[in-house]
Amino acid sequence: MIPMVDLKGQYLDIKDEIDQGLLQALEATQFILGPNVRAFEEEAAGYLGASHAVGCASGTDALHLALIAAGVGEGDEVITTPFTFIATAEAILYVGAKPVYVDIDEKSMNIDVNQIEDAITPKTRAILPVHLFGQPADMAVIQSIADKHNLVVVEDCAQSFGADIDGKQTGSMGIAGCFSFFPSKNLGCFGDGGLITTNDEKIAEHLRVLRNHGSWQRYHHSELGFNSRLDELQAVILRAKLKRIDQYNEGRRRVAHRYSAALAEMDGTTPPHEDGIGTHVYHQYTLLSAKRDQIMAALQAQQIACAVYYPIPLHQQEVFAEMCQGVSLPVTEKVASQCMSLPVYPELEDDKVDQILEVIRGAL
């Protein structure tokens, strides 16, 4: 049996360090905004090349708080991709803004930067690109459009920890970068967790207030805030894994490149493109095939996990039935009908990858 991710293997590999760190944190009993959270924020900011990093309770909260701090609110429009996890759009709705979906580029599966300007209206306030599956979105073009139209860019980096464009990490380019440490993400903790990066000191300060009940000093509440802090115990785990993130991402790339080299030789599948924009860190390995259903059935019959991320684009979700009435985004709809993801994790051995490829070959 081959799963989509092997969280246990990754834990066992660094068990001593994690267990020790957790025991120390238990003894120290500084459970809220304790020393490990502060240390992790500093270490993550250093790794990501951002001036500030602010921990919070989840990737969803990271997006929510970042949009507030970026000044996005009631009546604003936020341009984003319809081909992402629902949380991207939830955060936009939480601040009272409206997601405006722009179709995707079939190769990168990220927002089609050539269609962004057509979607800008006087109400547009922000662009929210997602570095989907670990493939960086075209930030140079996105930022230049934003600058031209006086918009802010908030990056959804939930799937892209460690991905960079010409040495610049995702999350260090927009006004804020939003990360998730959901267990299955490239950098994952043992529960929920999130992080916001920014190079703007005022925004960083605002985020620290927002995540802590709108409080800059105990029992002084300057605005409506939230209880959204990164947990001290999760920070212990994240510190141990952050040290190894390059090695983890390298492992994912090894698996991905082995898949892609073999799939390129098979008719009937299109492997994911590394389109020259930055380094893909393969949070997911997602291919396209008109024969998706038969490939998936064959894999499942051999106890090999596979999944469809995402079968229903956001503009076709029931929650957006009214807001997106009549919206048609043909590339997204085609990709959603043909995409499927294969197991990809650093611990996946080459012979298992070959075994998966054999099953796919047989199914085509």
Ligand X SMILES: *Cc1c(COP(=O)(O)O)cnc(C)c1O
Site residues, ligand X (CB under 6 A): 58-60, 84-85, 87-88, 130, 156, 158-159, 180, 182, 192, 194
User: How many other C-beta atoms can be found within 10 angstroms of the C-beta atom of residue 93?
Assistant: 16
Q: Cα separations (Å) of 218 from 47, 214, 311?
A: 31, 10, 46
DSSP classification of residue 73: -
CB 131 within 8 A of CB 151: no
CB of 222 to ligand X, least distance (A): 26
CB of 160 to ligand X, least distance (A): 9
- Cβ proximity to ligand X, 69 vs 263, nearer residue: 69
CA of residue 297 relative to chain centroid, distance: 28
- Cβ proximity to ligand X, 128 vs 363, nearer residue: 128
Please state the φ and ψ torsions of residue 188, each to the nearest 5 degrees: -125, 145
User: How many other C-beta atoms can be found within 10 angstroms of the C-beta atom of residue 59?
Assistant: 27
d(CA 103, CA 316): 13
For the record, the structure tokens of 351 come out as: 């012979």
CB of 361 to ligand X, least distance (A): 30
CB of 86 to ligand X, least distance (A): 8
Q: Is the dihedral of CA 119, 125, 130, 131 positive or negative?
A: positive
- Cβ proximity to ligand X, 134 vs 343, nearer residue: 134
d(CA 186, CA 50): 19
d(CA 363, CA 129): 35
User: Residue 359: enclosing H or E segment and its boundaries?
Assistant: helix 350-363
- Cβ proximity to ligand X, 216 vs 226, nearer residue: 226
- Cβ proximity to ligand X, 88 vs 286, nearer residue: 88
- Cβ proximity to ligand X, 58 vs 249, nearer residue: 58
CB of 322 to ligand X, least distance (A): 23
Three-state DSSP class for 42? helix
d(CA 65, CA 206): 9
- Cβ proximity to ligand X, 105 vs 263, nearer residue: 105
CB of 355 to ligand X, least distance (A): 28
CB 172 within 8 A of CB 178: no
CB of 67 to ligand X, least distance (A): 12
- Cβ proximity to ligand X, 130 vs 263, nearer residue: 130
Query: Hey, which residues does 78 pair with through a beta bridge?
Result: 99, 126
Give the residue closest to ligand X by C-beta: 59
CB of 7 to ligand X, least distance (A): 15
